[in-house]
C-alpha cells in the first residue's frame, strides 16, 4: 500500500495519531471515531481492517464477512458504517486485498 501524497513530518504524525486513536484508543466516543474515520483514505481503512483481522484472529475473506459479523465491538461498528459509503468497485478492491495480503502475527510487545 502506498500513499498518493507525500506527507511532511507534521502531517505524518497527525495522520498516525488519528489512526492510533481509531484503532487502539478505546476511550474515544463513537461520534469522535466516526468523524476521524471520515477523514481516512480508502487505503488506510483497508490497512485498519487488516490489523483488526490479525489482532483479533478473525477469518474474513470479504468485506461482507465483516459487515455481517455479530461481534460487538465499537471499532468494528465504525468500520461497518464506513462501508456504506463505498462503491461496488471499491468493495471488490477491498476483497482483492483481503485475499492477497496477510499480516504476520505480532511476536513481541
SS3 49: helix
Q: Which among 74, 99, 85 is positioned nearest to 41, based on CA atoms?
A: 85
CA 89, chain centre distance (Å): 18
Q: Considering Cα of 45, then 50, then 56, then 58, what sign does the dihedral take?
A: positive
pLDDT digits (tens, 9 = 90+) for 54-108: 888 877 778 888 777 777 777 788 888 888 888 989 889 888 888 888 777 766 5
Whole-model pTM: value is 0.69
Q: Which among 67, 78, 84 is positioned nearest to 28, based on CA atoms?
A: 78
Average pLDDT over residues 27-31: 78
How deeply is 57 buried, as exposed, middle or buried, from its count of CB atoms within 10 A (0-12, 13-18, 19+)?
exposed
Amino acid at each position: 500500500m502506498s500513499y498518493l501524497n507525500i506527507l511532511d513530518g507534521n502531517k505524518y504524525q497527525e495522520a498516525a495519531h488519528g489512526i492510533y486513536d481509531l484503532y487502539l484508543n478505546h476511550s474515544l466516543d463513537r461520534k469522535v471515531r466516526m468523524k476521524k474515520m471520515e477523514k481516512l483514505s480508502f487505503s488506510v481503512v483497508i490497512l485498519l481492517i487488516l490489523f483488526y483481522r490479525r489482532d483479533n484472529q478473525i477469518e474474513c475473506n470479504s468485506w461482507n464477512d465483516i459487515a455481517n459479523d455479530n461481534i460487538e465491538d465499537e471499532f468494528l461498528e465504525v468500520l461497518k458504517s464506513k462501508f456504506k459509503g463505498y462503491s461496488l468497485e471499491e468493495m471488490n478492491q477491498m476483497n482483492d486485498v483481503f485475499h492477497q495480503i496477510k499480516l504476520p502475527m505480532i511476536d513481541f510487545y
